[in-house]
Amino acid sequence: MDDYAIHLIDEWKSGRMSRRALLRAASVAGLSLATFRSVLESGVARAQTTTSSATPKRGGTLRLASQIPSANPQPVTASNAGEVFTYQPSLEYLCYPREDWTLDPRLATAWKADPSPKTWVFTLRQGVKWHDGSLLTADDVVATFERLLDPKTGSSAGSIYNGVLSHGNVEKVSDSEVRFNLDTAFVDFPYLVSGFAYQSAILPKNYEMGSFTKGGIGTGPFVLKQYVPNQHATYTANKSYWGQGMPYLDGLRITYYADESATVLGMQAGDIDVYPVVPLKGAEAILNNPNLDILRHASADYRSVHMRVDMAPFNDKRVRQAVAFCLDREGIVKSLFNGAAAVANDHSFAPVYVDTELAVKDVPQRQRNYDKAKALLAEAGHREPLKVTLTTENLLEMPQYAVAIREYCKPAGIDVTLNIMPTQQYYGSGSNQPWLVVPFGMTDWAARGTASQAIIPEFPCKAAWNSAHWCDQNFDKLFADYNAELDHQKRQKLAQQLAAIENDEVPVIIGYWIGAQRATTKAVHGLAAAPDNFIDLRGVWLA
């Protein structure tokens, strides 16, 4: 073991680090989990999945539901779940999150950082074939990331790597190794080349933009054969797949549905085997169906209620705090999710991020307090009803959450008008992106692999998607220190400081963490319950 492995084990033995946190940190550092077999009482970690102990059966076609892609599925510029679900059966990542969010080697067999850790070297799996029979090379990996990082490409992946990795800094070391020269030290970097960075799927070096749906592109377990816009996509098993014995299925069919209600009806009618992301509201007919299996798992999906700190009245921190003190978080979790969510505390450190679980418990949980809210508004000079407009999208539970915010704010003297927009209109494009402009807005955010990955696009001063227009130089410095720190105890303290700043400044309200749930027929085996926004089908089989 190297010094870092010994440090992690010492932290675990002393009780300062949970077993889950230890295994997560070890996998991110590229340490073989088998290394800890003689130390951990339960031996090597394995993801807890829904895999049956029975011998997998071969054959059959899995039927999967997906929302309609908002555009021609294009891995480099993908922006919604419909696109991601379409290309993920065919494409793969250097590593992939297991159900417990440790990282599983995929197209990379190993990775290691220098001591800083500012330089990372990934060792590639040898003998992997593209669907056309040619071999995967280091040149393909370098080309994939240089394509993503090139500003001319127009990929929103720039928000993922902003301040961490720049164009021109990915290089081939040898036929089997690729080096990432980071802009700054980043302990959690492997998560940024995993499925959690969904646009980082590896593509051929000669990939032509927009050509994925022609089929036959990828190294993954399924080969795309036909894509029919707004209707379906069909796949056959990759007979040359590198994963021993996988896939078990003969094929896959993805059917596109316009909305959740149509998907629920399709599942009830028996047209679907897997509904990957079941909403917590509006799918009761599925959730209460004894003939279906519901796979549940904690997640870090959340809704960001931003308040622009550069525009009145939210340029006064006391007003932002007052709005936050109006919310009954326990009531929201109960009414919107029937309890299948976790109360959040206006910071980015979700309970599922086990490496920071000890730190953020020291930030007092914000509770509804109308006296406090009224006093803060009075101090800020707002003695008459304060009128504001909350703009959001018509997606999942968000309109109901917006209504709840409006009603919770009334007793404090805050008059909220709602502006519910179609999702595509809310996000817009180019110079017309309301979600980044409106003074008071609510946005859906999918789970990231770590708190660092969640913070990068939204909270630093130069964040690409800083909808609150918030800038705190001290926060940015502490965040850089946190990303570079390997010592577990020091990292915990930095996490606590970051969470406290977010909670106090309240550029955004994070009121709850949404629980993940999937629905399958009883015939489906081997499907992991999480992460909920991605689908790994290589080990799935049908009884």
pLDDT for 289-324, tens place per residue?
999 999 998 889 999 999 999 999 999 999 999 999
Q: Which residues contact 111 (CB under 8 A, 6 or more apart)?
A: 30, 94, 95, 120, 121, 122, 123, 190
- Mean pLDDT value of segment 509-531: 94
Over residues 339-346, mean pLDDT: 93
Place of tokens 């017309």: 432
Q: What is the pLDDT of residue 4?
A: 84
Is residue 490 within 8 A of residue 259, CB to CB? The reply is no
pLDDT band at 53 (very low <50, low <70, confident <90, very high): low
- The Cα-based distances of 44 to 34, 35, 355, 462, 539 in angstroms read 5, 8, 19, 40, 20
Among 311-315, 503-507, 513-517, the minimum mean pLDDT is found in: 513-517
Q: What is the mean pLDDT of residues 440-456?
A: 94
More confident: 262 or 51: 262
Handedness of CA 161, 167, 171, 176 (dihedral sign): positive
Which is more confidently placed, 137 or 446? 137
Task: Note the pLDDT of residue 409.
Answer: 98
CA dist., res. 520 & res. 64, Å (int): 9
State residue 35's pLDDT score.
65
CA nearest 453: which of 187, 202, 180? 187
**What is the C-alpha separation between 433 and 406, in angstroms, rounded?**
23
Q: Which pLDDT tens digit goes with each residue over 344-393?
A: 999 999 998 876 777 788 899 999 999 999 999 999 999 889 999 999 99
Asked whether residue 47 carries a pLDDT value surpassing 80, the answer given is no
Could you tell me the domains of the chain?
1-46 (no CATH), 299-516 (3.10.105.10)
Q: pTM, whole model, 2 decimals? A: 0.92
Which residue type, as a one-letter code, is found at position 291? N
* Least confident segment among 32-41, 52-61, 240-249: 32-41
**pLDDT confidence band for 157 (50 / 70 / 90):** confident
pLDDT value at residue 33: 67
pLDDT tens, position by position, 102-132: 899 999 999 999 888 999 999 999 999 999 9
Question: 70-79, 145-154, 186-195, 270-279: which range is least confident on average?
Answer: 70-79
What is the per-residue pLDDT across 127-139, written as a single tens digit (0 to 9) for each?
A: 999 999 999 999 9
- What tens digit of pLDDT does each residue of 176-228 get? 999 999 999 999 999 999 999 999 999 999 999 999 999 999 999 999 999 99
pLDDT score at 377: 97
